[in-house]
Amino acid sequence: MKCLVVIDPQNDFCPGGALAVEDGDTIMSSINDMMSVHDLVVLTQDWHPTGHSSFASSHPGKTPLEMVDMPYGPQVLWPDHCIQGSEGAAFHADLDISLASAIIRKGMNPEVDSYSAFFENDKATQTGLAGYLREVGCTHLTMAGLATDFCVAWSAIDGAALGFAVEVRLASCRAIDFNGSLTAALEEMRAAGVTLA
């Protein structure tokens, strides 16, 4: 059984959004086309409270894309984005969400960021997605969405480590790509056994 996992297809990661990814909006129609050839569609939604610890604005003197050391390890700081209930956190209007059977919200713990669809960035706290997919009998995951080098890559790597067969559709992903993050993420996904298509 095959599940399409669509990572963070939200306004704030599209042009005009708070953490805009170049051409992020252009992937929605190809993602819609993939839905009908999967048994199940799951969406993730970055869903932060105001003042989240991954926001540079929560760290006096820091600016976006600087690093800080969190109790769980190094963390990139971001502009305020995907605030719970905001228009920026909403799914992009071009995405057909009618076929989604589940929406996994993540990044809700004020103290811990959550790139992956499976684990918070402490690599220990689970979102529940793995259990859901196993209970419904999913073995194969196709992933697409935003951003390739952060939430897509971390989700794909965790999915593979959890025993799912994971394929990332790069044509339906877009990257933030700073400081070589895209090249590194592609390498890490390959090393983790993720199929890059």
Interface contacts to Zn ion, rule CB under 5 A: 46, 107
Annotated active-site residue 8? The verdict is: yes
As measured in angstroms, the least distance from the Cβ of 21 to ligand VGL is 8
Which of these ranges, 61-69, 118-126, 146-154, 178-186, lies near ligand VGL under the rule CB under 6 A? Answer: 146-154
Catalytic residue among 12, 25, 80, 106: 106
Cα–Cα distance, 98 to 89 (Å, whole number): 17
Q: Which of residues 55, 78, 91, 119 is near ligand VGL by CB under 6 A?
A: 78
Cα–Cα distance, 91 to 82 (Å, whole number): 10
Cα–Cα distance, 170 to 192 (Å, whole number): 16
Closest CA to 176 of 135, 133, 146, 137: 146
Closest CA to 193 of 131, 148, 141, 150: 141
Q: Does 150 bind ligand VGL (CB under 6 A)?
A: yes
Q: Which of residues 6, 31, 42, 46 is near ligand VGL by CB under 6 A?
A: 46
Cα–Cα distance, 195 to 156 (Å, whole number): 9
As measured in angstroms, the least distance from the Cβ of 29 to ligand VGL is 19
Annotated active-site residue 69? The verdict is: no
Write out the catalytic residue numbers.
8, 106, 151
